Chains A and B, each alone.
Chain A
Amino acid sequence: MKRLDSTLDDMSGVETHCPYCALQCGMRLRLQPGPAEPARVEVTPRASGGNRGGLCQKGWTSADLLTSGERLTTPLIRWSRDDELEPASWDEALSFVATRIRRLQAESGADAVGILGGGGLTNEKAYALGKFARVVLRTRTIDYNGRFCMSSAAAGGIRAFGLDRGLPFPASDIAEADAVLLIGSNVAETMPPFLQYLTAQKAGGALIVVDPRATATARQASLHLQITPGTDLALALGLLHIAIVEGYVDRDYVAERTTGFDGVRPFVMAYWPERVERLTGVPVSQQRAAVRLLAEADRAMVLTARGAEQHAKGVDTVSAFINLALALGLPGTPGAGYGCLTGQGNGQGGREHGQKADQLPGYRKIDDPAARAHVAAVWGVDPDTIPGPGPSAYELLDSLGRDGGTRGLLVFGTNPVVSAPAAAHVEQRLRDLDLLVVADLVRSETAELADVVFPTAQWAEEDGTMTNLEGRVIRRQRLSPPPGEVRTDLEILAGLAERLGRGTLIDADPETTFNELRRASAGGIADYAGISYARIEAEDGIFWPCPTPDHPGTPRMFLDRFATPDGKARFVPVDYRPAVEDIDAAYPVYLTTGRVLAQYQSGAQTRRVAALRKAAPNPFVELHPDLAERHGIADGDDVRVTSRRGSATAPARVTDTIRVDTVFMPFHWAGAGRANSLTNPALDPTSRMPEFKVCAVRLEKAAVPGAETEVGAA
């Protein structure tokens, strides 16, 4: 315990990282001297990992939530469905949950109880959740919200390179690139300190941004391609077409380092620039300029993010952009390459260690006998007792409370009532469960529906590791213990395991758990075996793979070979298809969703920070003046947006930075302004990613202004 007093100098406190996005900005935390109880925590930035000393408003204010009056400090139980949640002891809460899990599994089989995890959880917790599911609950039913985030990029990366590490190079390489093509990312709002790399890069090079909106990021670009939502795949095919016709293909690289180019060519050649212009709305001249800038740069990079990936064709879109990068000879070339910008804090590590439905630690596949044998040996169980692959996150949510579906669900580190697609439907599915257990810091919208709520520790109250967007494993350090009766997720899992008769299998200590994770990941794709807490602290993080204690880690991947059997990257033939739901007479406008700077994900945390609530108090509908005028909508008017799945109402924000055929809503809010009430749960056939980024809606000026818009926390 590190309760500090005023005599300590400036080096006191702990060195840790911001709790929010995947940039994981370095920060130092100190307990402020003084009489306040609980003591206030002071945040100061420090250069570590990917931030070079920067912090955005979310990071600066992150400690406010530690002392928030809205924190949960005791477990809550809803004794019967008509009751309110009421405080209970840990013994009552753990026993309640264990008893019901036993009963549900006895009645309906092991798979009837499932887990939904999150991409913000530490590696230790992600690992423990996966293990808890497979050896304590013995259920195949586990997935996590990264399915809504990184799954398309992950699948695309694995198809091409045999391995998925978001950035296969340090973020600082981006600052040195001569040209960057950034597709569907608004880093100026989603990971603001990252923008310094693009600013540095643009000073001597070209930044090309693909986005339906002239976002703060797109306005920095030397070239902004203001694309029609849902058509990124056509653009990627078209850019490669131009590269081929203009003779920009790196033939030596393609011959030596790749396979499959000839299979891609016939698909690409059917996307001549004039056709692509009609599909995407991106003028031919801009397509040509983009290719010229990329191809003539010494070091070029192609970076995708959720704007390109959160589609029912997200994997193919990623493949198409990787194909472009491969044709130009970028991946595995120093200073150049393809990467995706991971979203959630541990979006990288969270997708590597087993909380994904089809996966075991070390990025192993759960249906691979050798992987099962290795992990079973580490766990001390019979390989045959490890269940097979389970349903993906949306399919899991969609099955809740239905015949033959999941009857009990444990939720850690996610808030699907706000963040899942077709959220009203998902909310109803959660209500139909026999048992909903939520571990959270606050009464999130999902916790409000729960039978049992476990109060969990925050980032400054626990130890662990995160893996940032670069694949760099970093340390999260405990400043002080959690307040009241709050426990860490690991303690909760260990306590539940004990009550379910398998207490020896889950350890509540983070470092012990990490050391077990190292053994479980050894020999796998994401190999952490050589990484220790001591090394991370001494070396400012270590890039995986790092198989042995004397291995330096791997900042840059693929320089000699790709992680495929023959060492060559694979071109994957893909074809364009339109959005699952295109606009028509009844729903004539595209909706796309995204984020704002002062809020994070479902907003459960950031909506409870006063400064952030002030900066971004409520949802809004961003629309073009021409579209607004046609609907008789003025800036600030409440707009009702309706899709085939429901309606949402929020004030209009009229701006000409958005396409005239598209409206944008941020998705951080619950209630009447919940953007995900509208979104389309159509899934990508490979990644099972929902089509968050495009659906068809209609607009009307809402009759009663402001009546239903929820602002901030409940």
Chain B
Amino acid sequence: MTAAVVVVGNGMAGARFAAELRAREPRRPIVVFGAEPGRAYNRILLSDLLAGKIAEDDLALAEPPGALDLRTDVEVVSIDPVSRTVEASDGSRTRYDALVLANGSRGVVPPIDGLWQDEETLLDGAATFRTLADCRQILAHARDAREVVVLGGGLLGLEAARGLATRGLSVQVVHARGQLMERQLDGEASRILIQTLAEFGVRVRLDAVTTAVIGEDRVRGVVLEDGSRIPADLLVIACGVRPKIDLAVKAGLQVNRGIVVDDSMRTSDPSIYAIGDCAEHRGRVYGLVAPAWEQARVAAEVICGGGAAYAGSRLVTRLKASGVDLAAMGDPHVDDESAEVVVFADPARRTYQKVVIRDQRLVGAILLGDNPTVGTVTQLFDRDAAVPADPRSLLFGRAGGTPTESAGALAAESTVCRCNGVTAGAIVRAWLGGARTVTEVSAMTRAGTGCGGCRDTIEGFVATLATDADLDTTSRPEEVVA
């Protein structure tokens, strides 16, 4: 029997890879190991689950057609690259002809006194925010909780905080750095974001290193480095993630921060691939779903004999938090002389926009608050396309469209009735020819006989022309049309 393609990990990357492979080679056997129990789910939507907007059922990812050898709640414990076999926690051994590591990352838990019950278990009332199981735990605590502390002011921490605030909880984000989302935002954006979050009941404490958890049997609060104490009956930890590389290390694969892969998503062993949060490509570990899915596509293509190559992804971060519109991309911190930086800040309206341009290309952007151009800017960045000569349109958009025609001062050649192609000049000529009412003008010019949308305009013309004729019999009626 042909050996299978074995996938380690049934998360966003692994499940996607299985679907991509199935679409290309429907008969190729695929074995997927998932360390978590249950079917593959959509991690992106966990913040909606926290907010109570969706049910667990809604998280299900579409499964590839056909039978899938899916082994959930089973962890792969070792890889033998020589015999091309993986050994799993259920004692099974499975041969592969291609192995795809998609086992993701784990949440970083900072060293905090009193956080752990024992070596494996967090204190009651504390949870990381990474998996569905984490989410269930947070929600179980949230039922009786009143005050929440979220450790970490990055993307995930803010999404968790906003979600829990939706449930009516008092939420405070405690962040060790001087600003929120420091990789994606600058100081001013962070300041306005903090004001926006406050409107939704999320408070933020910056430069605050948490040193200890208060509470013996369960979380009752946290202590900061400066000695201040924040009461809390729920502690959510969202302090970033670290790629899971243990398996790869034990198998002798080349690792750095993540498992090192080339442009084909191959590791140092040509039969083993890595994709998603655990992979490191050209020195970068992404930790976002869009790159993971692109990598899944490339790996599937390569394993089926195709020539696809992964050239890296453009980083676009979009905060999923109800009422907070924030997009950040690339590096917004560039401010050397070669870069053109355009900023618009309107803190009162909770709006901040910044684009960084170099060589006519967008290298970074922050769009917070009212952002009509976010679609355009994101696509320009994604495509590395040339920016418009006047970059202001990237912030505000253009005043699109021709102005609405109104009676009075219209150019003679401007169209009044689109349905019948009747110009202002033609209407004046009809008036000169004796038409004095809308009906008479319509009969003579056909203006207003299509959708009828211009009848008010014609009425305005007739009235203006009549008034002008009354006021000054010497003036030429054509002059009404500028």
Contact = CB atoms under 8 A, between A and B. Distances in A.
B306 interface: no
Nearest to A614: B421
Interface stretch (A276-284, A330-338, A357-365, A678-686): A276-284
Interface string B279-318: 0000000000110000000000000000000000000101
28 contacts: A55-B450, A56-B419, A57-B446, A57-B450, A60-B449, A192-B450, A196-B453, A214-B400, A219-B401, A219-B404, A266-B61, A269-B58, A272-B320, A275-B290, A278-B316, A280-B375, A282-B375, A283-B373, A285-B325, A285-B371, A573-B62, A597-B419, A597-B421, A598-B421, A626-B388, A626-B389, A657-B401, A660-B376
Interface string B117-147: 0000000000000000000000000000000
A113 B325 CA distance: 61
B450 A193 contact: yes
Interface stretch (A243-251, A342-350, A383-391, A447-455): A243-251
Contact of A283 (B289, B375, B421, B452): B375
A245 B49 CA distance: 9
B12 to A, nearest CB: 10
Contact of A661 (B370, B385, B389, B398): B385
B418 interface: yes
Nearest to A276: B375
B45 interface: yes
A677 interface: no
B451 A193 contact: yes
B399 to A, nearest CB: 8
Contacts of A655: 402
A194 B452 CA distance: 10
Nearest to B318: A274
Given A192-B418, A214-B400, A661-B385, A269 B60 contact: yes
A204 to B, nearest CB: 16
Contact of A193 (B372, B393, B400, B419): B419
B450 A54 contact: yes
Given A244-B58, A246-B53, A192 B400 contact: no
Given A194-B451, A196-B451, A269 B400 contact: no
B378 interface: yes
A516 B59 CA distance: 55
Which 5 A-B pairs have CB atoms at the shortest separation, nearest pair first?
A281-B375, A195-B451, A192-B419, A274-B318, A266-B62
Contacts, number: 142
Contacts of B450: 54-57, 192-193, 195
A228 interface: yes
A267 B446 CA distance: 50
A301 interface: no
Contacts of B54: 244-245, 269
B420 interface: yes
A63 B421 CA distance: 17
A60 B421 CA distance: 11
A188 B418 contact: yes
Contacts of B60: 265-266, 269
A196 B452 contact: yes
Contacts of A55: 419-420, 446, 449-450
A274 B63 CA distance: 22
A246 B322 CA distance: 10
B29 to A, nearest CB: 23
B418 A270 contact: no
A219 B45 CA distance: 35
B271 interface: no
Contacts of A192: 418-419, 450-451
A656 B373 CA distance: 14
Contact of B453 (A60, A199, A226, A284): A199
Contacts of A434: none
Interface string B60-88: 11110000000000000000000000000
B343 interface: no
A549 B401 CA distance: 51
Given A244-B54, A281-B376, A657-B402, A267 B48 contact: no
Interface string A278-297: 10111111000000000000
A189 B450 CA distance: 11
Interface string B349-371: 00000000000000000000011
A45 interface: yes
Contacts of B375: 226, 277, 280-283
B42 interface: yes
B386 interface: yes
Interface string A616-634: 0000000000100110000
Interface string A683-696: 00000000000000
A267 B62 CA distance: 6
Nearest to B42: A269
B193 interface: no
Given A270-B42, A272-B320, A54 B419 contact: yes
B453 A269 contact: no
A228 B379 contact: yes
A714 interface: no
A417 B248 CA distance: 61
A269 B61 CA distance: 8
B393 to A, nearest CB: 8
B378 A199 contact: no
A532 B379 CA distance: 56
B374 interface: yes
B289 to A, nearest CB: 8
A245 B385 CA distance: 34
B382 interface: yes
A269 B53 CA distance: 13
Nearest to B60: A266
Contacts of A278: 290, 316, 318, 378-379, 382
Interface string B37-53: 00000101100100001
A630 B54 CA distance: 46
A377 interface: no
A615 interface: yes
Interface in B399-416: 399-402, 404
Nearest to A196: B451
Which one of B61, B376, B393, B449 has the highest number of Cβ atoms from chain A below 10 Å of its Cβ?
Answer: B449
A245 to B, nearest CB: 5
Interface string A233-246: 00000000000111
Nearest to B386: A630
Nearest to B420: A57
B372 A277 contact: no
Interface in A180-199: 188-189, 192-196, 199
Contacts of A199: 451-453
A194 B289 CA distance: 44
A615 B421 contact: yes
A57 B421 contact: yes
A611 B62 CA distance: 55
A54 B53 contact: no
A56 B447 CA distance: 9
Contacts of B53: 245-247
A54 B449 contact: yes
Contacts of A270: 42, 61-62
A255 interface: no
Contacts of A245: 45, 48, 53-54, 58
A216 interface: yes
A96 to B, nearest CB: 43
Nearest to B452: A196
B420 A56 contact: yes
B372 A188 contact: no
A674 B84 CA distance: 58
A283 B374 contact: yes
A435 B373 CA distance: 55
Contacts of B61: 266, 269-270
A45 B449 contact: yes
Given A196-B453, A245-B48, A277-B374, 20 more contacts: A55-B446, A56-B419, A56-B420, A60-B420, A60-B449, A192-B419, A214-B401, A226-B375, A265-B57, A269-B60, A272-B45, A275-B290, A277-B318, A278-B382, A281-B376, A285-B371, A575-B62, A598-B421, A626-B388, A660-B388
